[in-house]
Amino acid sequence: MLKAGICTMKNNELDRLLQSIREPERAPEYWNEFPKKVVAHLHWRVGGPSGADPRPAPGIRRLAGWTLGLATSGVIVALAVVLWREHESRPEASQMLRMGKYYQEIEALFPNQLETIVFDPQGTHLVLAPEADVPASPPLYVRICDGKNCSSFVTFSGQEIQLAGQKMTVLSDAHGGIILTGDRFLWSSAERIDGGSHWQIEARNLSSIPL
Amino acid sequence: MEPDEERDWIRKSQQGDLEAFEALVRRHQRMIHSLTYRMTGSLPDAEDLAQDTFLQAFRQLSGYRAEARFSTWVYRIAVNLCLNWKQRRNRQERLQADWSQNQAASRRSDSPALEQVQEALLKLPPKQRAAVILTAYDGLNHAEAARILGCSESTVSWRVFAARAHLKKLLANAQSGNLHHEE
């Protein structure tokens, strides 16, 4: 409590007063997640301790997500390597399960910011929105093979993915079907519509897989 | 000297091992958050500054020498960021609003006097605030605070002296304001 005659207060009294102020306590989860967030930023920004700070502008962040990719924590990187090794084979239940878990970890690190996780022949990349404003919706798994290579995506309805320079929008319908649309291209998991492309496409709703 | 475990984390982090760096962050995060919160009075800003502190620490880690304790070294980065943060933006109004909001939400049982103390602390010039936080809160002596602040011991002594005088004046004014309200 403040006493009368503050101007004559002794220094140790003032110090005690200062020390009596507590900072608001944060949830235990915060302390668990904070170091992971820091490391995730480091994965994204720099390759090592001597790297310069290339903190990009929000507009560049999206581009950086596509071009440079984003690995997150050590655990996630390890998971990505495993996933990448499995990538050449057809998606099996265990792989889907791992993708689902991978998605959960990334989503926990960047809530409402994740747009797409890309697994392509160059590696694993994240596409993050500049702000945490991506509407919550069930994650969708899309795998596209062109005969030589396969690329996989974990994304959401309404997001745009890119393959071999071609952009396509991923949509899910009310019955759980998944539709891919692009310029002169349409594919549907439910109706087996194929827009005539040479791609082999598979798509599933990841939320249907028990994690 | 750092414990062996921490020295190992530092060495591995200097080689780019992010898992080791995560362990360092985990160990020092509360201390840094505490400082950034006291310097800003805002939880979101404190979090941003704590994150920036560790990001900068990682980038500068190759220049870290074991002459200073790692905690002192990273603390220095945090203090400098807090001081620059103050210069970067004039967020005083937002800061005050955040502070009032935080207090209303988290410390309804605290006496108004303690809020006045924190408000007074936030009104100090940043360098005085840093000096008084390091010495009064963290219990560092003036020589240790000088190493962190990158100035001489006598400068720290002067800042602490000025900060205390300033705080007493601000608190007296606040109290007299309260008395006027009560009348």
Which chain B positions have a beta carbon within 8 Å of A46's beta carbon? 58-59
Interface of B with A in 71-90 (CB under 8 A): none
Among B56, B118, B115, B50, residue whose Cα is nearest residue B82: B50
Residue A18 with chain B: CB contacts under 8 Å? 117, 121, 132, 136-137, 167
In chain A, which residues have their Cβ closer than 8 Å to the Cβ of B106?
24-25
CA distance A132 to chain B (A): 15
Query: Quick one: how far is CA B86 from the chain centroid?
Result: 12
Cβ distance A49 to B61 less than 8 Å, yes or no, reads yes
Q: How far apart are CA A1 and CA B116, in angstroms?
A: 10
Nearest to A143 by CA among A73, A88, A104: A88
- Note the CATH number of domain B1-109: 1.10.1740.10
Whether the CA torsion A89, A91, A94, A98 is positive or negative: it is: positive
- Predicted local distance difference test score (pLDDT) of residue A211: 52
User: Does the distance separating the beta carbons of A1 and B55 come in below 8 Å?
Assistant: no
Check CB contact under 8 Å for B22 and A53. no
Q: What per-residue confidence (pLDDT) applies to B97?
A: 56
- Which pLDDT belongs to residue B181? 46
Give the 3-state secondary structure percentages of chain A, helix then strand then coil, rounded to 5.
35, 25, 40
Q: Is the pLDDT of residue B150 over 80?
A: yes
Give B3-26 pLDDT, tens digit per residue.
788 999 999 998 888 899 999 999
Residue of B30, B54, B167 lying closest to A14 (CB–CB):
B167
pLDDT digits (tens, 9 = 90+) for A147-175: 778 888 889 888 888 887 778 888 887 77
Lowest-pLDDT range of A51-60, A182-191, A201-210, B141-150: A51-60
Cβ neighbors of B54 (< 8 A, separation 6 or more) are A38, B21, B25, B29, B32, B74
Pair B174, B116: CB distance under 8 Å: yes
Is the confidence at residue A58, as pLDDT, over 90? no
Ordered by start, the domain boundaries in chain B are 1-109, 110-183
* Domain positions in chain A: 26-208
User: If you average pLDDT over each of A3-7, A64-68, B160-164, which comes out highest?
Assistant: B160-164
The CATH architecture that domain B110-183 belongs to is Orthogonal Bundle (1.10)
Q: Which pLDDT belongs to residue B88?
A: 56
Question: In whole angstroms, how far apart are CA A91 and each of A14, A103, A203, B39, B177?
Answer: 66, 15, 10, 51, 70
Q: Of A160, A59, A142, A55, whose CA–CA distance to A103 is shortest? A: A142
CA nearest to B25, candidates B64, B63, B65, B52: B52
Shortest CB distance from B111 goes to which of A1, A11, A31? A1
A116-120, A188-192, B99-103, range with the lowest pLDDT: B99-103
DSSP-derived letter for residue B135 is: I
More confident residue, A176 or B93: A176
Tell me the pLDDT band of B179, cut-offs 50, 70 and 90: very low
